[in-house]
Amino acid sequence: MSFAKLTEIIEISDSRNIPFWKVILEEDMHERNVSEEESFSHMRYMLEAMTEADKSYNPALRSVSGLAGGDGAILEQFRKNKNRLVGDFMVKVMEKAVKMGESNACMRRIVAMPTAGSCGVIPAVLLTYKEHKNVADERIIEALYVVGGIGEVIATSACISGAEGGCQAEIGSASAMAAGAVAYLEGGTNEDIIHAAAFALKNMLGLTCDPVAGLVEVPCIKRNISGAVNAVISSQLALAGVRSAIEPDEVIAAMKRIGRLIPACLRETGEEGLAVSETARHVEAVLNDKH
């Protein structure tokens, strides 16, 4: 089976008195015909790959275009500056989001979650949480099942492709997935989890996909920061008891409709938006000359 609604997951969770994440674990066991240990081991592998990608960040690397690289180190240095408005947790989230995005642009090994262009959002949030709260890997792995469940619903009922639904489908989906995971980690209820996801996705509705020179670098990498920070604040809203006026499943349905309405020129075709700015045209011309 494939979950089409978040409420389907909650109904199973409530009726069987098992946590949200375990519903997804059991579905994975059924879908792939694996044991609980095998499923958990596979998810642990995902966490290890994310952790390694973060640790192996190389500030000296630059992408072939020259548009990406080094900003993660700048943010790392900024984090050491105490005269700033943003706290340590959030600055580290920003830093890790950029580092992961830059590593992707520099052809390093990353975890596409849910896509390569949005690969920085979930690792930035969960790895920072793990370090900040000093929690065991097992808790983060449980949160990754929450991530997977929310992502599955979005992929089934809407989309996770920028070419199909705009960047809302990539960064927006990743942000919603991360928000639900943080709500879970902080001891939130099932309602907290899905409303955190709803807040995060609502904040990203209508986001276009207009990459410069057709590359997942500008504006994509910096948007990972927005998605990651958005996930954290959305989780806090839900945990405080605030509820989305629009039901979470309806938010996902709205994202699908909006994606269809976004003109093709703003869905990864490079025909409008930032992709046709004067600077973008210059970058594209330089890259074409190189080839």
H-only helix segments in the chain: 6-16, 20-32, 36-55, 71-79, 88-105, 121-133, 137-157, 162-165, 171-185, 190-202, 220-239, 248-261, 278-290
d(CA 234, CA 195): 8
CA distance 152 to 178: 13
pLDDT class of 2 with cuts at 50, 70, 90: confident
Q: In the predicted model, what is the mean pLDDT of residues 5-29? A: 98
Query: pLDDT at residue 73 above 80?
Result: yes
Does residue 217 lie in a domain region?
yes
When divided into structural domains, the chain yields a total of 1
pLDDT number for residue 249: 98
* Structural domain harbouring 69: 6-290
For residue 212, pLDDT beyond 70:
yes
Band of residue 66 on the pLDDT scale cut at 50, 70, 90? very high
What is the mean predicted confidence (pLDDT) over 150-171?
98
Q: Give the C-alpha separation, 207 to 219, whole Å.
A: 11
- CA 288 from chain center: how many Å? 31
> Contact 274/212 with Cβ under 8 angstroms?
yes
User: Which residues lie below 8 Å from residue 15, measured CB to CB, with a gap of 6+?
Assistant: none
Do the beta carbons of residue 178 and residue 96 sit within 8 Å?
no
pLDDT band at 65 (very low <50, low <70, confident <90, very high): very high
Q: Which two tokens stand for residue 9?
A: 């997951």
- Is residue 283 one of the residues assigned to a domain? yes
Q: Dump pLDDT digits (tens) for 77-128.
A: 999 998 899 999 999 999 999 999 999 999 999 999 999 999 999 999 999 9
Average pLDDT over the chain reads 97
**In whole angstroms, what is the distance from residue 256 CA to residue 160 CA?**
10
Confidence of residue 1 (pLDDT cuts 50, 70, 90): low
Burial of 35 (0-12, 13-18, 19+ CB in 10 A): exposed
Find tokens 């097992």 and name the residue. 138
* Res 148 pLDDT > 90: yes
Question: Does the structure show a pLDDT above 70 at 143?
Answer: yes
pLDDT of residue 82: 87
Asked whether 99 and 57 are in contact (CB, 8 A), the reply is yes
- Give per-residue pLDDT as tens, 228-280: 999 999 999 999 999 999 999 999 999 999 999 999 999 999 999 999 999 99
Examine residue 1 and state whether it is found in any structural domain, yes or no.
no
Per residue in 178-201, pLDDT (tens digit) is 999 999 999 999 999 999 999 999
The CATH number covering residue 62 comes to 1.10.4100
